[in-house]
Amino acid sequence: MSAAHDVHGHGHGQGHGHDEGHGSLRDYVWGFALSVILTAVPFWLVMSGAIADKGTTALVITGFAAVQIVVHMIFFLHMNARAEGGWNLLALLFTVVLVVIVLSGSLWVMYHLNHNMMPQGTMQGMEQAP
């Protein structure tokens, strides 16, 4: 059996209905161009100080990062609803849901622990200290 055939004797991507499309050169160029733009714009925003508020800058950069993740998944990892019968996309969505639940739950717990564990009379006690 040659290296070009899988265990079932089929050639690469034949016989199972897999849509293994590995993308064209045009797709890779588009993905690369979008990646460069999605990296250069946030870099420029930070270096030029175009947005005065640091919190807003962080949110904008996070948005650009999320878009760049999607660009990489589509243009370089070839993840779409057709790949592997949709199982890749389903696994990705499940992972995203779990990460959102874990992160938001952790932030919620930490916020409430911080709020509930703060001593109520710290400022009055400090004023009376010798």
Q: For residue 46, what are the contacts with CB-CB under 8 A and spacing of at least 6?
A: 57, 61
pLDDT for the residue 118: 74
For 5-28, b/e burial (b = at least 16 CB within 10 A) is eeeeeeeeeeeeeeeeeeeeeeee
* pLDDT < 70 stretches in the chain: 1-21, 120-130
Cα separation, 44 vs 36, in Å, equals 12
pLDDT for the residue 18: 47
pLDDT for the residue 71: 93
